Amino acid sequence: MLRFANLFFLLFLICTLQPSSTAHPRTLNGKLQEVFPLIGTTLFFVLQIFRLATLSMFGIFIVDCTLWLDKTSVDCKNFTVYKDQSCDGYCWKTLWLCSSIATSTICIFLMCQRINPNLRPVDGTVVAGFLLRKPFFWSIGLLLSLVIIYDLLIIRNNEDAKIAVEVLVILSKCFTAVVIFQLNYTMYPSRNQGFNILTVMTYYVCLSLYVLDNFLKFATVSAQVAFKFYTVNNKSSVNALRIIDLTLMVTNGLLYHRFVQFFWDKIFLGEKDILMVYRENFVDNLNKFVNCQNHEETIDAQRMT
């Protein structure tokens, strides 16, 4: 599977990179420069279809484990929905994580100004310097750090945890955060900018899958928090470690909620700075309200005369 993923990514890079114009200029500057990006877009669209399939199979696994077996996707042993298949629940979880990480890696690569200058007004170093001065960067970073600690505790304390799979879970969250920070300052492809319909469609399919992906995890974590809270609330003696575990689980759900909210807003808001938290001075805000009322009173007075 890793060989297939490496081969797929290599083919995508070859098809996406602009071919050199030094050799055979007529051929490479003509049809090949149109065909190569189209092939790359097609491969990426196929990856999204595969990602949707693996997400569906993993969704069956995690929903059954969470709602009916009262387990998580880390220690679910009695799952039997498609147990007889050649690929069990953890196999589909691994494939889903690999496809998600591959998608995020390709998205980060495509958001480079050198690759798509029409979609990125500035390069990554400018964006990085800008992010360091924004509160949302540090808030998401803090949430992500706490969630990583929570995942590491799961690996350490759960004997049934598959270390390789849980490491992929951590990497998936980190890559998703990087995609959010970069995508917030990337314009969306449109037909007016010369992008073909397949590219535009693939862009929105990819964002929609990010929404479904993180919403599924947010919903399952919310269900786990509800079960955990019910368990803690019915214990005569409350364990401090159980409270800490519940708190970190809530933090994990908050991170997924931030992810869902961003990708959902990005679908509809496009070039807007979605992560921007704009706060006006309350005096200016009140003055605007008073001026608006005065303007309405003036219009009413003119109508009366």
Structure tokens given for 18: 């602009």
- 231 pLDDT band (50/70/90 cuts)? low
Least reliable range by pLDDT among 26-35, 82-91, 155-164, 264-273: 26-35
Higher pLDDT, 304 or 255: 255
Higher pLDDT, 193 or 138: 138
Are 214 and 263 spatial neighbours (Cβ–Cβ below 8 Å)? yes
pLDDT at 53: 94
The long-range contacts involving 147-155, CB below 8 angstroms and separated by at least 24 positions, are 147/173, 147/248, 147/251, 147/252, 147/255, 148/173, 148/174, 149/248, 150/248, 150/249, 150/251, 150/252, 153/245, 153/248, 154/74
41, pLDDT greater than 60: yes
302, pLDDT greater than 90: no
pTM above 0.85, yes or no: no
25, pLDDT greater than 50: no
pLDDT at 233: 60
Average pLDDT, the chain: 79
